[in-house]
Amino acid sequence: MPRSSATNEFGIGTRGYAPPAVLINASVDALPQPWHHRLVRLDGKVAIITGAGRGIGLAYARRFLREGARVTIADLSKADGEAALEELSSVGEVIFVPTDVSDEDSTENCARQTGERFGTVDIVINNAALFGDLDRTDHSLAYLKKVFDVNLHGAWLMTRAAAPAMVGQGRGRVIMQASDAAYIYASTPSSIRSATTRRSGASSA
Protein backbone atom coordinates (compact mmCIF):
# COMPACT_ATOMS: atom_id res chain seq x y z
CA MET A 1 0.00 0.00 0.00
CA PRO A 2 1.51 3.39 -0.92
CA ARG A 3 2.89 5.68 1.73
CA SER A 4 2.97 9.45 1.54
CA SER A 5 6.32 11.19 1.48
CA ALA A 6 4.96 14.31 3.16
CA THR A 7 6.90 15.10 6.33
CA ASN A 8 7.00 17.85 8.92
CA GLU A 9 9.96 19.53 10.59
CA PHE A 10 10.67 16.43 12.65
CA GLY A 11 10.84 14.22 9.59
CA ILE A 12 7.53 12.66 10.57
CA GLY A 13 5.22 11.54 7.79
CA THR A 14 1.91 13.29 8.32
CA ARG A 15 -0.15 10.87 6.30
CA GLY A 16 1.18 7.36 6.96
CA TYR A 17 -0.51 4.23 5.72
CA ALA A 18 -4.24 4.26 5.09
CA PRO A 19 -6.70 2.03 3.25
CA PRO A 20 -8.50 3.61 0.31
CA ALA A 21 -11.02 6.04 1.75
CA VAL A 22 -13.70 4.66 -0.55
CA LEU A 23 -13.78 1.47 1.53
CA ILE A 24 -15.44 3.35 4.37
CA ASN A 25 -18.30 4.34 2.10
CA ALA A 26 -18.46 1.06 0.21
CA SER A 27 -18.66 -1.09 3.34
CA VAL A 28 -21.64 0.88 4.66
CA ASP A 29 -23.39 1.08 1.29
CA ALA A 30 -23.20 -2.71 1.02
CA LEU A 31 -25.40 -3.18 4.10
CA PRO A 32 -29.09 -4.07 3.62
CA GLN A 33 -31.14 -0.87 3.64
CA PRO A 34 -32.93 -1.35 6.99
CA TRP A 35 -29.59 -1.91 8.73
CA HIS A 36 -27.99 0.90 6.76
CA HIS A 37 -30.43 3.48 8.09
CA ARG A 38 -30.44 2.06 11.61
CA LEU A 39 -26.66 2.23 11.83
CA VAL A 40 -25.65 5.47 10.23
CA ARG A 41 -28.53 7.93 10.01
CA LEU A 42 -27.23 11.10 11.64
CA ASP A 43 -29.80 13.81 10.91
CA GLY A 44 -28.98 16.98 12.79
CA LYS A 45 -26.04 15.57 14.75
CA VAL A 46 -22.91 17.71 15.06
CA ALA A 47 -19.52 16.07 14.61
CA ILE A 48 -15.97 17.34 15.05
CA ILE A 49 -13.57 15.25 12.97
CA THR A 50 -9.86 15.81 13.49
CA GLY A 51 -7.46 15.27 10.61
CA ALA A 52 -10.41 15.60 8.23
CA GLY A 53 -8.54 17.49 5.54
CA ARG A 54 -7.79 14.31 3.63
CA GLY A 55 -7.61 10.52 3.81
CA ILE A 56 -9.72 8.63 6.32
CA GLY A 57 -10.78 11.81 8.11
CA LEU A 58 -12.11 13.29 4.87
CA ALA A 59 -13.99 10.06 4.18
CA TYR A 60 -15.58 10.27 7.62
CA ALA A 61 -16.63 13.86 6.96
CA ARG A 62 -18.08 13.03 3.56
CA ARG A 63 -20.05 10.09 4.92
CA PHE A 64 -21.37 11.94 7.96
CA LEU A 65 -22.57 14.81 5.79
CA ARG A 66 -24.33 12.39 3.44
CA GLU A 67 -26.12 10.94 6.47
CA GLY A 68 -27.40 14.33 7.60
CA ALA A 69 -24.78 15.38 10.15
CA ARG A 70 -23.25 18.83 10.42
CA VAL A 71 -19.47 18.63 10.45
CA THR A 72 -16.46 20.58 11.64
CA ILE A 73 -13.30 19.78 9.71
CA ALA A 74 -10.51 20.16 12.29
CA ASP A 75 -7.16 20.01 10.54
CA LEU A 76 -3.70 21.50 11.06
CA SER A 77 -3.19 22.05 7.33
CA LYS A 78 -4.95 25.15 6.05
CA ALA A 79 -4.55 23.98 2.46
CA ASP A 80 -6.05 20.55 3.13
CA GLY A 81 -8.84 21.97 5.27
CA GLU A 82 -9.87 24.57 2.73
CA ALA A 83 -9.78 22.03 -0.10
CA ALA A 84 -11.97 19.67 1.92
CA LEU A 85 -14.36 22.50 2.74
CA GLU A 86 -14.67 23.42 -0.93
CA GLU A 87 -15.37 19.80 -1.87
CA LEU A 88 -17.89 19.13 0.88
CA SER A 89 -19.82 22.40 1.02
CA SER A 90 -22.23 21.10 -1.61
CA VAL A 91 -22.86 17.92 0.39
CA GLY A 92 -24.06 19.43 3.66
CA GLU A 93 -23.45 21.90 6.48
CA VAL A 94 -19.71 22.00 7.13
CA ILE A 95 -17.09 24.40 8.48
CA PHE A 96 -13.31 24.29 8.64
CA VAL A 97 -11.51 25.27 11.85
CA PRO A 98 -7.69 25.21 11.66
CA THR A 99 -6.77 23.04 14.64
CA ASP A 100 -3.58 21.79 16.25
CA VAL A 101 -4.83 18.93 18.42
CA SER A 102 -1.64 19.01 20.48
CA ASP A 103 -2.47 22.56 21.62
CA GLU A 104 -4.99 23.12 24.40
CA ASP A 105 -6.11 26.56 23.23
CA SER A 106 -6.53 25.31 19.66
CA THR A 107 -8.80 22.42 20.65
CA GLU A 108 -10.84 24.68 22.92
CA ASN A 109 -11.24 27.12 20.04
CA CYS A 110 -12.40 24.33 17.73
CA ALA A 111 -15.07 23.19 20.18
CA ARG A 112 -16.15 26.78 20.81
CA GLN A 113 -16.48 27.65 17.11
CA THR A 114 -18.40 24.44 16.50
CA GLY A 115 -20.83 25.30 19.29
CA GLU A 116 -21.26 28.85 18.04
CA ARG A 117 -22.03 27.67 14.50
CA PHE A 118 -24.09 24.55 15.15
CA GLY A 119 -25.31 24.97 18.73
CA THR A 120 -23.67 21.92 20.29
CA VAL A 121 -21.29 18.99 19.80
CA ASP A 122 -22.67 15.45 19.63
CA ILE A 123 -19.74 13.47 18.24
CA VAL A 124 -15.95 13.70 18.25
CA ILE A 125 -13.84 11.53 15.95
CA ASN A 126 -10.20 11.61 17.04
CA ASN A 127 -8.54 10.74 13.75
CA ALA A 128 -5.54 13.11 13.54
CA ALA A 129 -2.17 11.38 13.91
CA LEU A 130 1.52 11.49 13.02
CA PHE A 131 3.47 8.52 11.67
CA GLY A 132 7.23 8.23 11.89
CA ASP A 133 9.85 6.29 9.98
CA LEU A 134 10.14 3.02 11.88
CA ASP A 135 13.49 2.22 10.25
CA ARG A 136 15.26 5.23 11.73
CA THR A 137 17.30 4.95 14.92
CA ASP A 138 18.26 8.61 15.31
CA HIS A 139 14.93 10.11 16.36
CA SER A 140 15.23 12.92 18.89
CA LEU A 141 13.33 13.32 22.14
CA ALA A 142 11.50 16.23 20.50
CA TYR A 143 10.28 13.80 17.83
CA LEU A 144 8.96 11.36 20.42
CA LYS A 145 7.24 14.11 22.38
CA LYS A 146 5.56 15.45 19.23
CA VAL A 147 4.20 12.02 18.31
CA PHE A 148 2.72 11.59 21.79
CA ASP A 149 1.42 15.17 21.85
CA VAL A 150 -0.57 14.60 18.65
CA ASN A 151 -1.51 10.92 18.74
CA LEU A 152 -2.28 10.49 22.43
CA HIS A 153 -2.58 13.86 24.15
CA GLY A 154 -4.36 15.33 21.13
CA ALA A 155 -7.19 12.80 21.39
CA TRP A 156 -7.57 13.62 25.08
CA LEU A 157 -7.51 17.39 24.54
CA MET A 158 -10.12 17.34 21.76
CA THR A 159 -12.36 15.05 23.79
CA ARG A 160 -12.03 17.26 26.86
CA ALA A 161 -12.80 20.39 24.85
CA ALA A 162 -16.05 18.91 23.53
CA ALA A 163 -17.08 17.21 26.77
CA PRO A 164 -18.96 20.15 28.38
CA ALA A 165 -21.42 20.30 25.48
CA MET A 166 -22.02 16.56 25.66
CA VAL A 167 -22.42 16.53 29.44
CA GLY A 168 -24.73 19.52 29.29
CA GLN A 169 -27.12 17.79 26.90
CA GLY A 170 -26.81 14.39 28.56
CA ARG A 171 -25.47 12.58 25.51
CA GLY A 172 -22.51 12.33 23.17
CA ARG A 173 -20.14 9.95 21.44
CA VAL A 174 -16.36 9.86 21.09
CA ILE A 175 -14.72 7.69 18.43
CA MET A 176 -11.02 6.91 18.85
CA GLN A 177 -9.34 6.13 15.53
CA ALA A 178 -6.16 4.11 16.07
CA SER A 179 -4.71 1.48 13.73
CA ASP A 180 -3.84 -2.20 13.44
CA ALA A 181 -0.44 -1.23 14.87
CA ALA A 182 -2.14 -1.15 18.28
CA TYR A 183 -2.37 -4.94 18.21
CA ILE A 184 1.34 -5.49 17.60
CA TYR A 185 2.16 -2.66 20.00
CA ALA A 186 2.99 0.70 18.63
CA SER A 187 3.10 3.05 21.58
CA THR A 188 0.49 5.69 20.80
CA PRO A 189 -2.14 3.55 19.01
CA SER A 190 -1.79 0.91 21.71
CA SER A 191 -2.21 3.51 24.44
CA ILE A 192 -5.42 4.79 22.85
CA ARG A 193 -6.78 1.28 22.39
CA SER A 194 -5.90 0.26 25.94
CA ALA A 195 -7.41 3.34 27.55
CA THR A 196 -10.58 3.09 25.48
CA THR A 197 -11.25 -0.62 25.95
CA ARG A 198 -10.53 -0.58 29.66
CA ARG A 199 -12.79 2.39 30.26
CA SER A 200 -15.63 0.79 28.31
CA GLY A 201 -15.23 -2.56 30.05
CA ALA A 202 -13.94 -4.34 26.94
CA SER A 203 -10.93 -6.61 26.96
CA SER A 204 -8.89 -8.72 24.57
CA ALA A 205 -6.93 -11.91 24.90
What is the set of active-site residues? 185
Please name the helix (run of DSSP H) or strand (run of DSSP E) that holds residue 169, with its range, or none.
Answer: helix 154-169
Q: Measuring CA to CA, which residue among 172, 165, 177, 173 is closest to residue 126?
A: 177
- Burial of residue 99 (CB within 10 Å: 0-12, 13-18, 19+) is buried
66 in Cβ contact with 92 (< 8 Å): yes
Q: Measuring CA to CA, which residue among 28, 57, 52 is closest to residue 42?
A: 28
Locate the DSSP E strands across the chain: 46-50, 70-75, 94-98, 123-126, 173-176
Q: Which residues have a Cβ under 8 Å from the Cβ of 149 and sit 6 or more positions away?
A: 102
